[in-house]
Amino acid sequence: MLKNNTKDLMERILYLSEKNLKNNKIPIAAIVVDSKTDKIISEAVNGDSVLDHAELLALNEALLKLSTNRLDKYDIYVSIEPCPMCATAIAKTHIRRLYFGAEDKKGGGVINGPKIYSHSNLKIPEVISHCYAEETGNLLKKFFESKRN
């Protein structure tokens, strides 16, 4: 069972993801929050470039705002299981905890694919998966169905 603040933050993820879907973009969003206060430090959605992943954009914004290179007192919330690139960035920035919605069986890098956090040379965040998985998964399904039609 998710805590109320986790629900609120995942609902923010859903809102941002739906907004991106309405703009005909992949419905992926990320939020970096202070782990003690749940105050949102940064938020982002996937952009047009193949490198504009929501996680990377949100992490970079948080690093700049906080004038640091470590986010060990912060958590990240994401629509979908991060890809290997984003999972590595999350580890490299020392994020404390990762929350994500739907699994990404094809492109994921945490519980699917290369399982980035199985490598001992990384600072591994605590992972809480399948938060609002059905809702985030449905948004992704809608997006890819619209691309096929």
Tokens representing 7? 């629900």
The span from the CA of 104 to the CA of 46, in Å, is: 15
What length is written for the chain?
149
The span from the CA of 29 to the CA of 53, in Å, is: 8
Beta-carbon-side half-sphere exposure of residue 16 (alpha carbons within 13 Å): 23
Average pLDDT, the chain: 94
**What was the pLDDT predicted at 146?**
81
**Would the pLDDT of 138 be above 60?**
yes
**What was the pLDDT predicted at 59?**
99
* Catalytic position from the list 55, 103, 134, 145: 55
**Would the pLDDT of 2 be above 70?**
no
- 11 in catalytic set: no
DSSP 96-135: SEEEEEE--TTT-SSSSTT-GGG-TTS-PPEEE--TTHHH
Which domains does the chain carry? 2-144 (3.40.140.10)
Order across the sheet with 40-45: list the strands: 40-45, 29-34, 74-80, 97-102, 126-128
The pLDDT tens digits for 87-125 are 999 999 999 999 999 999 999 999 999 999 998 789 999
**What was the pLDDT predicted at 147?**
77
